[in-house]
Structure 1
Amino acid sequence: MTIDIPGYRSGTWNLDPAHSEVTFSVRHMMISKVRGTFGVKSATLVAPENPLEARVEASVDVTSLSTGDAGRDGHLLSGDFFDVEKYPTMDFVSTGARAEGGELYVDGDLTIHGVTKPVTFELDFGGFGADPYGNYKAGASAKTVINREDFGLTWNAALETGGVLVGKDVTITLDLQGALQA
């Protein structure tokens, strides 16, 4: 199966970190959400003629985590959660792409905290365009929900009112822009 994406060009695409972001959100105290960001270390998309045969590899710098609260960030970076001394990156390697019911999906292996699990990102393709400097760019957003405990991120605290401090489900959202290598 192949799909037609207007403006699509095969080749190798490299991430533009100045125009890309990885964010997450997780329930806090079961009543609100905490949001944060990570810096994208690298991402490469190798795109053949058929877009559904594209391969992507990406690495996120976990040490760049920011939730806007230094104390919380320090706890998240510690051995209770990400343990960045041992696991400074999160990595993704695609295993396939597919179109279903008008939606695009990218399947792959996500490694967090030394644990690799299959995940599926729902892709929202933004389009293509040339920047003022002659670079051909593409933009997309992707989203998935993971259970953090599946990746060994199990720290939590029981609440006096019932429930727990940190939810299990984490929504990961990617907003990415890449440039076609000349």
Structure 2
Amino acid sequence: MTTIDIPGYRPGTYVLDPAHSEVTFSVRHMMISKVRGTFGVKSATLTAPENPLETTVEASVDVTSVDTKDEGRDQHLRSAEFFDTENFPTMDFVSTGARAEKGELFVDGDLTIRGITKPVTFEVDFGGFGSDPWGNYKAGASAKAVINREDFGLTWNAALETGGVLVGKDVTINLDLQAALQQD
């Protein structure tokens, strides 16, 4: 079985520290620039066995918290034309595996948006481990994935007079996460 050596790795259950974690996204706007936004992380749990590549992840993002610094756009994103947060208030991820390839770490899993589940791969940049001043053992990582929003039923768009469309199909999801090892 394949394994990797991660300095400081400790098996156990890690729970997300929302004060030190962030989920952001970016998408093409008018084919000429990008709109960026954030979501609040509702919960995330990493179960880390002896072999780091057998780690499992379950996470939930509060889609109602979408913030693009434009309240009108945020309301539109919460509407039935996009996320339909009244019926689908969360975006959920459940890992299906992890792998190391050519020095890179990847986490595969199922992402659910608007009740539609599709496979997604996150490229992970592992930050490391460390103890905070209060004796909590923490892990940090960043991850990135690109999804086609239309695969998840996010199909609203508007044609532009100059050609193209208002909203691009590809959405880049970036995660900056910190989690604490739960004490027995």
Do structure 1's residue 152 and structure 2's residue 153 form an aligned pair? yes
C-alpha offsets along residues 58-112 of structure 1, whole Å, 9 cap, x if unaligned? 0000001100000000000001100000000000000000000000000000000
**3-state SS of paired residue (2:154):** coil
Structure 1: runs of 5+ lacking an equivalent: none
1:44 match: 45
Give how far 1:145 is off.
0.1
CA distance in 2 between counterparts of 1:57 and 1:181 reads 15
Give how far 1:57 is off.
0.1
1:34 match: 35
Give how far 1:120 is off.
0.2
**3-state SS of paired residue (1:118):** strand
2:121 match: 120
CA distance in 2 between counterparts of 1:90 and 1:70 reads 20
Identity of aligned residues (%): 84
1:110 match: 111
CA distance in 2 between counterparts of 1:88 and 1:103 reads 33
Structure 2: runs of 5+ lacking an equivalent: none
Give how far 1:175 is off.
0.3
CA distance in 2 between counterparts of 1:126 and 1:64 reads 26
**3-state SS of paired residue (1:162):** coil
CA distance in 2 between counterparts of 1:103 and 1:64 reads 31
1:88 match: 89
Query: What's the RMSD between the two structures over aligned residues?
Result: 0.3
CA distance in 2 between counterparts of 1:72 and 1:2 reads 45
**3-state SS of paired residue (1:143):** strand
CA distance in 2 between counterparts of 1:23 and 1:137 reads 21
C-alpha offsets along residues 33-64 of structure 1, whole Å, 9 cap, x if unaligned? 00000000000000000000000000000001
Give how far 1:122 is off.
0.1
CA distance in 1 between counterparts of 2:139 and 2:150 reads 33
CA distance in 1 between counterparts of 2:4 and 2:117 reads 29
CA distance in 2 between counterparts of 1:113 and 1:156 reads 17
CA distance in 2 between counterparts of 1:68 and 1:131 reads 32
**3-state SS of paired residue (1:52):** helix
Normalization by structure 2: what TM-score? 0.99
C-alpha offsets along residues 117-172 of structure 1, whole Å, 9 cap, x if unaligned? 00000000001110011000010000000000000000000000000000000000
Corresponding residue pairs, total: 182
